[in-house]
Structure 1
């Protein structure tokens, strides 16, 4: 009996130690993978700029018909592709020079720029328009600069938006043509002035549409790279410090989970005792009846 109890006790202690070790290793690995970033967020600059200027590109391809008697369909896809790169460097001037040279070498254009901060805490935000064929090359070069804190690529299809703008333009041109023909027939001065004002409004709308459609022109094709270079020292944490933090977290969480487990066990045990007592009382009452 005593030997069986000792075996169970050893097995229980072994399982508790294994659980503790798993928690410790998990926290230690998490400490190495976690990125420590004490620099401010720069998303406000890019969100403000994105409402002013957008870059679009196109991709032409053919979709083969499933029916042999029908020809393939030519598709001209319009899309918006944006890369966001946030990197950090302790050698700000060198990395700034390298990023500008990389942008220039790949025929890209800096469309917007913001540089701020004093030495030791400088920030450089660039919105770059790059030809679609050089997009991947520029992205791969820029993520090698400094220590990347965050990066992502987003691609949105804009074909329907382009078609809607074209349809609206054609519709307005037809209305303008009809109004001009109507104006040539003569009439009252009030009606003539009303037609003139309406034609002027339509021409203003057409100008706005012309600007929007101009962004989709093949000669203006660009993809966007939003690049942030932040100045700051790399935070280095020693092995002993990581072990200390991991041990403190493990002890805290281990005791927390064990306490919760003990409370649940005690509550379950008491609940079972109460249920058993109620069953005994019920049986006694049934016998008396």
Structure 2
């Protein structure tokens, strides 16, 4: 009986030790995979100015028809292309200077700029307009500045939007011409004033359309690069500290598991004991 008890006790101790070591190894490895980030969250700079500035570019190409008589159609595509780059730097001044040199090298323009924070926690946000032919080269250079946290390129077709703006402009110009012609036919003063007010409204709408269409002009063609540079410090954690943290976490979780296991076992024992008592009571009642 004692040999069986000792054997079971050894087996239980072995299982408990294995569980403890497994928890410790898991937490120790997790400490290496978890990255420490001392930088602040990026400000929503680009979201705040997204509606105030749009950069568009165009691409001209031909599409061959599938008819028996082969013809080609010239297509003038208007599109919006945006690159988003988020980088972290431990040499903020140097890498900010490198970024500005790259922007100048590819004849790009800084359209909006925000720089904030104190030494050690500085942030730089740049909205850059770059000629379409230099977009890829600038993007490839900027993603080598600092340690990249995130990057992506988005391209949206704006051809239909451009055509709709032109169609709306043509329609408003026709209405304006018709109203001006009505003015020459005379009429009551209040009718004349209404015509003047309506013409003024159309003029204002045409001015707004002119601004929107101006973004599509060939001379204003740009693609967009949203570049964020955050200053952060690298933290080197010693092995002793990692062992200490892993050991503290393991002991805490291990004790919680032991306590939970104890109460579950106690509950199961009491539950089985209650069932046994009910069976005995049932047998006594049946004998009577």
Give the equivalent residue in structure 1 for 2:107: 107
TM-superposed deviation, 1:46:
2.8
Distance 1:279 1:92 in 2: 78
Give the equivalent residue in structure 1 for 2:250: 250
Of the structure 1 ranges 157-166 and 63-72, higher mean CA displacement relative to structure 2 is found in 63-72
TM-superposed deviation, 1:103:
1.8
Give the equivalent residue in structure 2 for 1:83: 84
- Pair 166,27 (structure 1): closer, same or farther in 2 beyond 3 Å: farther
TM-superposed deviation, 1:83:
0.4
Of the structure 1 ranges 157-166 and 210-219, higher mean CA displacement relative to structure 2 is found in 157-166
- Pair 239,220 (structure 1): closer, same or farther in 2 beyond 3 Å: farther
The yes-or-no answer on 1:266 pairing with 2:284 is: no
Distance 1:11 1:135 in 2: 66
Matched-pair contact (CA < 8 Å) for 1:85–1:225: no
Distance 1:166 1:177 in 2: 17
Distance 1:209 1:275 in 2: 83
Give the equivalent residue in structure 2 for 1:56: 56
Taking the TM superposition and a 5 Å limit, the aligned residue runs for 1:115-154 are 115-148=115-148, 150-153=149-152
Give the TM-score normalised by the residue count of structure 2: 0.77
Distance 2:182 2:163 in 1: 29
- Pair 269,45 (structure 1): closer, same or farther in 2 beyond 3 Å: same
Matched-pair contact (CA < 8 Å) for 2:56–2:216: yes
Matched-pair contact (CA < 8 Å) for 1:78–1:216: no
1:133-182 deviation per Cα after TM superposition (whole angstroms, max 9, x unaligned): 5444433322322334x323252635465555455444434433443343
Distance 2:238 2:7 in 1: 40
- Pair 120,265 (structure 1): closer, same or farther in 2 beyond 3 Å: same
- Pair 105,182 (structure 1): closer, same or farther in 2 beyond 3 Å: same
TM-superposed deviation, 1:7:
5.2
Matched-pair contact (CA < 8 Å) for 2:85–2:143: no
Gaps of 5+ in 1: none
2:234 aligned counterpart, secondary structure:
coil
Give the TM-score normalised by the residue count of structure 1: 0.76
1:107 aligned counterpart, secondary structure:
coil
Give the equivalent residue in structure 2 for 1:44: 44
Matched-pair contact (CA < 8 Å) for 1:58–1:77: yes
TM-superposed deviation, 1:107:
3.1
Distance 2:40 2:261 in 1: 41
Of the structure 1 ranges 163-172 and 19-28, higher mean CA displacement relative to structure 2 is found in 163-172
TM-superposed deviation, 1:30:
3.0
The structure whose Rg is larger is 2
Give the equivalent residue in structure 2 for 1:28: 28
Distance 2:228 2:120 in 1: 15
1:16-37 deviation per Cα after TM superposition (whole angstroms, max 9, x unaligned): 4444344333333332333323
Gaps of 5+ in 2: none
